[in-house]
């Protein structure tokens, strides 16, 4: 597997990533060692889903595979689940283009 | 050097299967083609589809290219082309092009032969005769460099980009090293990863064409004033942990491996033999995308799935690879390679080796899970009006 497994719980695919992918069904309170500290899960996160390793603000770029995959749409704390409820795509956004045309 | 045991063809690379294809030229004869194949035997395979009798220019060319490509795939030794008689894609046009690849071909026009019952009867008779002429063909030792290997993903989840796709990519790297052709497609799933693919293109012209194709796919969503988020990633992808198209794409492109990108072909356009890694511009719908590659000449497909797709193809064996441990267990009967071992620590290289060995043994006759269960999906991509407008603008 490419990347580094953190505490047998998460896969950190590239050094620049600010999220980690759960490789088990994770439970609130689980501790993921990262960068000399411990990130404590604030909620349950299912297998394959992402956990923030650092605090993020709306508009911040979410990085996985060492590449931008989304922008945060809300404040996200370290240890929170990152998914469609607090992050969104920046690509293929015909809805945004349509709004800009109207404005 | 790696080899497999394939069926030699007098024209083009060897097949890994030896079938008579029964090809309807429109939806009107899809059921008749099925009936002919079912009644004749398991080595006679139909390719039913939903295309109408009178598709617009542009769309028609792509459909015809697909039908001819299917009939000249190395796995096809002979073909029967069936039409109602009203189609703008004539049975003789398709048959002539298939015959040009040195295949025996028969045609049936439902109107001329006297209706559907007579068409089925004539079809069974002609398919039986065609089969009798190729059934004694023996497998011989063939070089792996003669393989065109199509790779596809469907029902992706977070494990696809971590395990199954990079493991299949490692198998593609092996085939390319042995002189063969590997191909992947689904242009919408390059969005967000196109800069990585562009860097790997062998020349500037190819790089520009690739970026232009990705722009076209992305602008289709913008043209309609909608965003991709509802469909890409799909609800199933999202449940599996994929949040955005960028994330899905970055995982998807790893199934092609790491070698330079040497070409970009159209949907169902003939793939080069000994061509290295080549892209095909297809939609993201996996069944249509697989058919595009089979029409392009791919003899074997590897299909990665996280959530558990069971799809197959009537003419090319489809090797199912999953990186999801739950899917590997629950859908064990529908999977051929368990790549979820990557998550437990097996190296991608070792799993890539297993997939490459599976490719060679399937090419030599070993049946895949989808073949054993006769799971055969077939659909042709029909260009939509906005795509046709884009093509006219670009040319």
Contacts of A48 in chain B (CB under 8 A): 157-159, 240-241, 306, 324
Query: What total number of domains does chain A contain?
Result: 1
Q: Do A48 and B240 touch (CB under 8 A)?
A: yes
Mark residue B140 as left, alpha or beta (left: phi above 0; alpha: psi -120 to 50; beta: remaining). Answer: beta
In chain B, what percentage of residues exceed pLDDT 70?
A: 96
Q: Name the pairing type of β-strands B300-305 and B318-322.
A: parallel
For residue A32, what are the domain limits? Answer: 4-102
Q: What is the mean pLDDT of each run of 10 residues along chain A (103 residues)?
A: 93 97 97 96 98 98 97 98 95 66 46
Q: Which long-range contacts (CB under 8 A, 24 or more apart) does A95-103 make?
A: A95/B225, A95/B226, A95/B227, A96/B227, A97/B222, A97/B225, A98/B222, A98/B225
Contacts of A92 in chain B (CB under 8 A): 188, 191, 218, 221-222, 227-229, 232, 245
Confidence (pLDDT) at A102: 46
B248 to B61, B323, B331: CA distances (angstroms): 31, 15, 22
Tokens 């890994």 identify what position? B16
pLDDT, tens digit (0-9, with 9 covering 90-100), for B325-347: 999 999 999 999 999 999 999 99
- CB contact A90 to B (< 8 Å): yes
CA angle B258, B259, B265 (to 5 degrees): 110
Tokens 């199912």 identify what position? B320
pLDDT band at residue B165 under the 50/70/90 scheme: very high
Contacts of B32 (CB under 8 A, 6+ apart): B24, B82, B110, B116, B119, B120, B123
Confidence (pLDDT) at B232: 79
Tokens 């990705």 identify what position? B214
Chain center to CA of B5: 21
Q: How far apart (Å, rounded) are the C-alpha atoms in residues B229 and B131?
A: 48
Higher pLDDT, B236 or B225: B236
Contacts of B162 in chain A (CB under 8 A): 1-2, 11, 13, 21
CATH number of the domain bearing residue A91: 2.30.130.110
Which of A49, A94, A98 to probe the B interface (max B CBs under 10 A)?
A: A94
Q: Do B246 and A67 touch (CB under 8 A)?
A: yes
How is chain B split into domains, by residue range?
19-136, 144-372
Higher pLDDT, B339 or B283: B339
* CATH 3.40.190, domain B19-136, yes or no: no
Confidence (pLDDT) at B224: 57
Confidence (pLDDT) at B106: 98
Q: Do A88 and B240 touch (CB under 8 A)?
A: no
Q: Do A89 and B244 touch (CB under 8 A)?
A: yes
Q: Looking at the predicted structure, is the pLDDT value of residue B231 above 50? A: yes
pLDDT band at residue B394 under the 50/70/90 scheme: low
Q: How far apart (Å, rounded) are the C-alpha atoms in residues B21 and B103?
A: 11
Confidence (pLDDT) at B16: 98
Q: Do B196 and A82 touch (CB under 8 A)?
A: no
Helix (H) or strand (E) holding B134: helix B116-134
Confidence (pLDDT) at B1: 83
Q: With a cut of 0.85, is the ipTM above it? A: yes
Confidence (pLDDT) at A99: 59
Q: How far apart (Å, rounded) are the C-alpha atoms in residues B268 and B189?
A: 18
Q: Looking at the predicted structure, is the pLDDT value of residue B262 above 50? A: yes
Q: Looking at the predicted structure, is the pLDDT value of residue B200 above 80? A: yes
Confidence (pLDDT) at B225: 53
pLDDT band at residue B221 under the 50/70/90 scheme: low
Mean pLDDT of B105-115: 98
pLDDT, tens digit (0-9, with 9 covering 90-100), for B71-85: 999 999 999 999 999
Tokens 């906005």 identify what position? B386
pTM of the model: 0.95
Q: How far apart (Å, rounded) are the C-alpha atoms in residues B204 and B218?
A: 21
pLDDT band at residue B387 under the 50/70/90 scheme: confident
Contact B155, B323 (CB under 8 A): no
Confidence (pLDDT) at B103: 97
Q: Do A92 and B161 touch (CB under 8 A)?
A: no
């Amino acid at each position: 597997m490419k990347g580094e497994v953190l505490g047998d719980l998460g896969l950190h695919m590239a050094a620049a990533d600010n999220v980690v992918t759960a490789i088990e069904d994770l439970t609130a309170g689980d501790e993921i060692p990262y960068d000399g500290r411990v990130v404590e899960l604030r909620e349950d996160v299912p297998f394959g889903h992402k956990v923030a390793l650092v605090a993020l603000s709306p508009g911040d770029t979410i990085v996985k595979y060492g590449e931008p995959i989304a922008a945060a749409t809300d404040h996200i704390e370290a240890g929170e689940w990152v998914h469609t409820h607090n992050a969104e795509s920046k690509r293929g956004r015909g809805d945004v283009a349509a709004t800009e045309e109207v404005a | 050097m790696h080899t497999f045991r394939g069926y030699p063809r007098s024209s083009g690379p060897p097949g890994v299967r030896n079938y008579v294809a029964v090809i309807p030229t429109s939806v009107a004869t899809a059921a008749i083609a099925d009936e002919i194949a079912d009644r004749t035997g398991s080595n006679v395979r139909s390719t039913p589809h939903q295309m109408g009798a009178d598709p617009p220019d542009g769309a028609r060319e792509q459909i015809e290219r697909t039908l001819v490509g299917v009939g000249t795939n190395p796995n096809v030794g002979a073909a029967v082309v069936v039409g109602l008689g009203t189609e703008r894609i004539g049975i003789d046009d398709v048959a002539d092009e298939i015959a040009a690849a040195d295949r025996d071909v028969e045609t049936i026009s439902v109107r001329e032969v006297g209706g559907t019952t007579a068409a089925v009867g004539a079809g069974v008779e002609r398919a039986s005769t065609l089969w009798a002429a190729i059934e004694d063909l023996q497998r011989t030792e063939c070089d792996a460099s003669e393989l065109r290997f199509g790779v596809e993903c469907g029902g992706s989840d977070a494990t696809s980009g971590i395990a199954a796709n990079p493991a299949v990519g490692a198998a593609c790297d092996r085939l390319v090293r042995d002189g063969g052709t590997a191909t992947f497609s689904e242009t919408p799933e390059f969005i967000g990863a196109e800069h990585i693919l562009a860097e790997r293109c062998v020349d500037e012209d190819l790089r520009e064409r690739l970026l232009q194709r990705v722009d076209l796919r992305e602008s289709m969503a913008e043209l309609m004033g909608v965003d991709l988020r509802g469909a890409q990633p799909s609800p199933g992808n999202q449940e599996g942990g994929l949040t955005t198209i960028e994330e899905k794409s970055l995982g998807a492109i790893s199934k092609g491996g790491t070698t330079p990108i040497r070409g970009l072909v159209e949907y169902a356009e003939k793939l080069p033999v000994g061509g290295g890694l080549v892209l095909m511009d297809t939609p993201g719908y996996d069944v249509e995308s697989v058919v595009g590659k089979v029409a392009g000449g791919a003899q074997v497909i590897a299909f990665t799935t996280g959530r558990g797709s069971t799809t197959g193809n009537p003419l090319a064996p489809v090797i199912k690879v999953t990186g999801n441990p739950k899917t590997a267990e629950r859908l064990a009967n529908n999977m051929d390679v368990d790549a979820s071992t990557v998550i437990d620590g097996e190296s991608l290289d070792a799993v890539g080796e297993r997939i490459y060995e599976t490719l060679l043994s399937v090419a030599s006759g070993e049946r895949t899970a989808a073949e054993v269960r006769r799971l055969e999906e077939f659909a042709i991509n029909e260009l939509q009006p906005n795509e046709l407008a884009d093509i006219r603008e670009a040319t």
